[in-house]
């Protein structure tokens, strides 16, 4: 699966989506790309455009040489899985029912999940290590567990590309790291993943490519070690940081804010 | 493993699903048996005494020509008077409950009832207008049906014009149009002749199944059965819609098209129900909550269960309306008097959030 974004632009609109301009990048199998940038810089809007939840105003997005603006919605949903920032279902569905919903793109309007769909959903719960929550109500589990459930749902969708909007934002420290491990494991199976984040350290941990976005523009894009620099961080977030390489079992760079 | 068992136990404690898992008895057995018993029993209810055995014999003689039953009066009462009314109660109850649960699912809101888009107000105005213009029974029904569709049509078009959250704008538009038709209804009442027309309008608005005839039922049943069938067929999609507009889209659902299908079906069945029975409140709001307490929020089970409970509930209420007093009590009044205490009891016993 290859995703290519060419000169993509979106103007700010009345529904509150912030805009972006002339975005270009390409992603291949097994690559993890993180989009880093301050609040309201257009990260979420860009993700929504990649999934055609919102239409681009200019430019193109192609999925294996097919322009997504010409693909029917079911076909996009079969290829692209999307995990939104906040997920609040209106009903206290059981965890299994929530995950089963991920089978929707594979089912016709009049169909409901078969035994096979049930097995796929159960398998995704097992993959995420939350099979024991199967019959629990979605409203009875913790925020971290919910995020894992939504992850299981997107796995049940069996997409060939994943879009994650700040997947770690509502998780505690331990769950953040656990989730990043899952992201890495999924990428290792060949699934390309695009996620947005607020944490430079997370980028060092899982990303192959990072894009830094400010006011709707990619100001830099490439390998994390080259892109996440003290000067770039200062430029985007307006705070001084130190970036160090940590040896030993860690073997990666870390980003530390400088405080007086 | 032990952990998993514990979670299971916890879950059972929190929902009232015991009903559905009673020693392997299927979820459907109890409501289906209840409905069949109540169906037979309802023929017995009334001024003219008929034994349950005779009811079964008469019904049997019409299904299979093997049985013969020679009693003209009994046959007329059972087939011409009581059967249309019993069928009407069942199908109206089922329709209101089903459109209630569908709208609550579509709008992701537990306070929504079938008349949220102005169906009842439109129908009420249509019926009152026909009464004012001295229309006959058929004219009243047709007018109620047309204005119900008109009201929802206007609500839907306004909702589409408003930018932003599509379900929220639809609800707001519906509330506005319902108020508008409410005002128009008041106007008709104001100018109506207070001796004949005004009582007729008031009585119609209270809801009654007393005037349902074979023909009226037959005409109304067609759109109701079509709407019910479609909603039952697409019921699993409600689970996807419940995830929210954006997530449903990301899961490949054409939410706009699905919304139209649901609104059209619900409007068709509610408008047909209202035009033969008048405005019967409360059923569409309360039955879905009872259904959820019994089988949980999964729409795959919830819609059929609501269909059954709706039919049982209104049939029971109509039986009470017929026999409790020497004068028939309007059914719309009884649904509230019987339904509300039951609903409060359920809220007290129920589990979390969505009752």
Q: What is the mean pLDDT of chain B?
A: 85
Q: Distance (Å) from the C-alpha of residue A102 to the closest C-alpha of chain B?
A: 7
- Asked if residue B1 has pLDDT above 80, the reply is no
Instruction: Establish if A105 belongs to a structural domain.
Output: no
Q: Which residues of B touch A110 (CB under 8 A)?
A: 233-234
Cβ B233–A110 below 8 Å, yes or no?
A: yes
The two beta strands, A32-36 and A241-246, are unpaired
Q: Which residues of A touch B109 (CB under 8 A)?
A: 90
Q: Which residues of A touch B243 (CB under 8 A)?
A: 87, 89, 98, 101
Which of the two residues, B233 and B326, has the higher pLDDT score? B233
- Distance between CA atoms of residues B39 and B263, nearest Å: 30
Q: Distance (Å) from the C-alpha of residue B228 to the closest C-alpha of chain A?
A: 14
- Distance between CA atoms of residues A178 and A207, nearest Å: 15
Nearest CB partner across the interface for B252, out of A73, A93, A140: A73
* Nearest Cα residue to B238 out of B214, B221, B213, B255: B255
Per-residue pLDDT of chain A (260 residues; tens, 9 = 90+): 899 999 999 987 666 667 899 999 999 999 999 999 998 888 999 999 999 998 899 999 999 989 999 999 999 999 999 998 877 777 889 999 999 999 999 999 999 999 999 999 999 999 888 999 999 988 888 888 888 899 999 999 999 999 999 998 878 888 889 889 989 998 999 999 999 999 999 999 999 999 999 988 999 999 999 999 999 999 999 899 999 999 888 889 999 998 87
Cβ A104–B237 below 8 Å, yes or no?
A: yes
Six-digit token string for A216: 């709707």
| B25 confidence band (pLDDT: 50, 70, 90) | low
Nearest CB partner across the interface for B164, out of A15, A81, A84: A15
Total domain count, chain A: 1
Q: Is the dihedral of CA B331, B272, A90, B236 positive or negative?
A: positive
Instruction: Establish if A29 belongs to a structural domain.
Output: yes
Q: Which residues of A touch B247 (CB under 8 A)?
A: 82, 84, 87
- Rama region for A194: left / alpha / beta (φ>0; ψ in -120 to 50; rest): beta
Cβ A139–B239 below 8 Å, yes or no?
A: no
Kindly report each contact of residues B340-348 with a partner whose C-beta sits within 8 Å and lies 24 or more positions away, as own/partner: B340/B282, B340/B286, B342/B286, B342/B290, B343/B286, B343/B289, B343/B290, B346/B289, B346/B290, B346/B293
Q: Distance (Å) from the C-alpha of residue B316 to the closest C-alpha of chain A?
A: 29
Closest residue of chain B to A91, computed from CA coordinates: B297
Query: Helices in A80-214 by DSSP H: which ranges?
Result: 95-100, 115-127, 143-156, 173-188, 200-206
Instruction: Establish if A116 belongs to a structural domain.
Output: no
Strand partners, A197: A36
CATH architecture for the domain at B15-24+83-349:
Orthogonal Bundle (1.10)
Mention every residue, 6+ apart, whose C-beta is less than 8 A from residue B269.
B95, B98, B99, B223, B224, B227, B228, B231
- Distance between CA atoms of residues B90 and B75, nearest Å: 21
* ipTM for this model: 0.90
Instruction: Establish if A172 belongs to a structural domain.
Output: yes
Q: Distance (Å) from the C-alpha of residue B350 to the closest C-alpha of chain A?
A: 13
- Asked if residue B7 has pLDDT above 60, the reply is no
Least confident piece of the model among A171-185, A235-249, B295-309, B339-353: B339-353
User: Cβ distance B151 to B118 under 8 Å?
Assistant: yes
- Asked if residue B11 has pLDDT above 50, the reply is no
* Nearest Cα residue to B253 out of B230, B276, B236: B236
Q: Check residue B9 and give its pLDDT.
A: 43
Q: Which residues of A touch B14 (CB under 8 A)?
A: 137, 140
Q: Which residues of B touch A76 (CB under 8 A)?
A: 252
Q: Distance (Å) from the C-alpha of residue B6 to the closest C-alpha of chain A?
A: 9
| B223 confidence band (pLDDT: 50, 70, 90) | very high
Q: Distance (Å) from the C-alpha of residue A241 to the closest C-alpha of chain B?
A: 37
Instruction: Establish if A136 belongs to a structural domain.
Output: no
Instruction: Establish if A139 belongs to a structural domain.
Output: no
**How would you class A122 by CB atoms within 10 Å of its CB: exposed for 0-12, middle for 13-18, buried for 19 or more?**
middle
Q: Check residue B355 and give its pLDDT.
A: 40
Q: Which residues of B touch A93 (CB under 8 A)?
A: 239, 242, 296-298
- Distance between CA atoms of residues B274 and B249, nearest Å: 33
| B10 confidence band (pLDDT: 50, 70, 90) | very low
- Distance between CA atoms of residues B27 and B25, nearest Å: 7
Least confident piece of the model among A123-132, B6-15, B141-150, B167-176: B6-15
| Cα A94 → chain centroid | 24
Name the residue range of residue A226's domain: 3-87+159-257
Cβ A135–B164 below 8 Å, yes or no?
A: no
CATH number of A33's domain: 3.40.50.300
pTM for the model stands at 0.87
**How would you class B75 by CB atoms within 10 Å of its CB: exposed for 0-12, middle for 13-18, buried for 19 or more?**
middle
| B351 confidence band (pLDDT: 50, 70, 90) | low
Radius of gyration of chain B (CA): 21
> What are the backbone dihedrals phi and psi of residue A222, each rounded to the nearest 5 degrees, phi first?
165, -155
- Asked if residue B353 has pLDDT above 50, the reply is no
- Structural domain spans, chain B: 15-24+83-349
Closest residue of chain A to B8, computed from CA coordinates: A135
Selected for mutation to probe chain B from A101, A142, A158 (highest B CB count within 10 Å) is A101
Instruction: Establish if A71 belongs to a structural domain.
Output: yes
Closest residue of chain B to A54, computed from CA coordinates: B246
Q: Check residue B121 and give its pLDDT.
A: 92
Instruction: Establish if A118 belongs to a structural domain.
Output: no
Distances (CA, A) of B248 to A103, A151, B86, B181, B238: 11, 15, 40, 33, 10
């Amino acid at each position: 699966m290859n995703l290519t974004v060419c000169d993509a632009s979106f103007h700010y609109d009345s529904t509150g989506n912030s805009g972006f301009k002339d975005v270009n990048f390409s992603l291949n199998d097994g690559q993890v790309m993180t989009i880093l940038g301050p609040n309201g810089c257009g990260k979420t809007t860009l993700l929504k455009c990649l999934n055609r939840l919102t239409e681009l105003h200019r430019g193109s997005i192609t999925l294996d040489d097919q322009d997504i603006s010409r693909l029917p919605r079911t076909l996009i949903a079969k290829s692209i899985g999307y995990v939104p920032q906040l997920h609040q279902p209106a009903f206290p569905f059981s965890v299994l029912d929530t995950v089963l919903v991920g089978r929707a793109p594979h089912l016709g309007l009049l169909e409901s999940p078969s035994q096979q769909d049930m097995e796929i959903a159960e398998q995704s719960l097992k993959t995420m290590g939350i099979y024991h929550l199967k019959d629990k109500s979605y409203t009875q589990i913790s925020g971290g567990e919910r995020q894992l459930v939504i992850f299981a749902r997107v796995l049940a969708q069996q997409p060939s590309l994943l879009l994650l909007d700040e997947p770690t934002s509502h998780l505690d420290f331990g769950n953040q790291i656990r989730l990043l491990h899952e992201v890495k494991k999924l990428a290792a199976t060949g699934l390309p993943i695009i996620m947005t984040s607020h944490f430079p350290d997370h980028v060092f941990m899982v990303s192959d490519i990072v894009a830094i976005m400010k006011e709707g523009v990619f100001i830099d894009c490439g390998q994390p070690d080259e892109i996440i620099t003290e000067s770039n961080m200062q430029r985007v977030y307006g705070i001084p940081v130190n970036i160090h390489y940590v040896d030993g079992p860690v073997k990666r760079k870390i980003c530390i804010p400088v405080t007086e | 493993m032990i952990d998993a068992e514990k979670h299971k136990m916890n879950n059972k404690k929190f929902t009232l699903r015991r009903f559905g898992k009673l020693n392997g008895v299927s979820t459907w057995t109890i409501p289906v048996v209840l409905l069949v018993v109540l169906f037979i029993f309802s023929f017995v209810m009334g001024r003219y005494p008929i034994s349950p055995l005779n009811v079964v014999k008469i019904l049997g003689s019409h299904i299979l020509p093997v049985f013969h039953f020679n009693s003209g009066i009994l046959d007329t009462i059972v087939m011409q008077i009581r059967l249309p009314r019993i069928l009407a109660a069942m199908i109206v109850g089922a329709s209101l409950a089903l459109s209630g649960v569908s709208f609550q699912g579509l709008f992701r809101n537990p306070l929504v009832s079938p008349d949220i888009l102005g169906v009842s107000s439109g129908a009420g105005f249509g019926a009152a207008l026909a009464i004012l213009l001295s229309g006959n029974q058929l004219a009243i029904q047709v007018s109620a049906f047309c204005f119900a569709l008109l009201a929802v049509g206007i609500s839907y078009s306004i909702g589409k014009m408003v930018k932003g959250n599509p379900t929220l704008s639809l609800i707001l538009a519906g509330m506005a149009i319902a108020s508008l038709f409410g005002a128009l209804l008041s106007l008709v009442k104001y100018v109506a002749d207070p001796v004949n027309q005004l009582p007729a309008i008031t009585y119609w608005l209270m809801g009654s199944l007393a005037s349902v005839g074979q023909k009226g039922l037959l005409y109304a049943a067609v759109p109701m059965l079509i709407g019910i069938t479609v909603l039952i067929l697409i019921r699993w999609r409600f689970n996807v819609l419940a995830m929210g507009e954006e997530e449903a889209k990301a899961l490949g659902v054409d939410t706009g098209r699905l919304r139209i299908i649901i609104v059209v079906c619900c409007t068709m069945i509610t408008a047909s129900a209202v035009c033969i029975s008048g405005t019967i409140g409360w059923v569409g709001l309360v039955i879905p909550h009872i259904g959820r307490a019994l089988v949980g929020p999964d729409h795959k089970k919830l819609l059929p269960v609501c269909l059954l409970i709706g039919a049982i509930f209104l049939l029971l209420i109509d039986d009470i309306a017929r026999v409790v007093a020497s004068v028939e009590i309007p059914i719309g009044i009884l649904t509230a008097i019987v339904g509300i205490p039951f609903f409060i009891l359920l809220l007290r016993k129920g589990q979390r959030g969505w009752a």
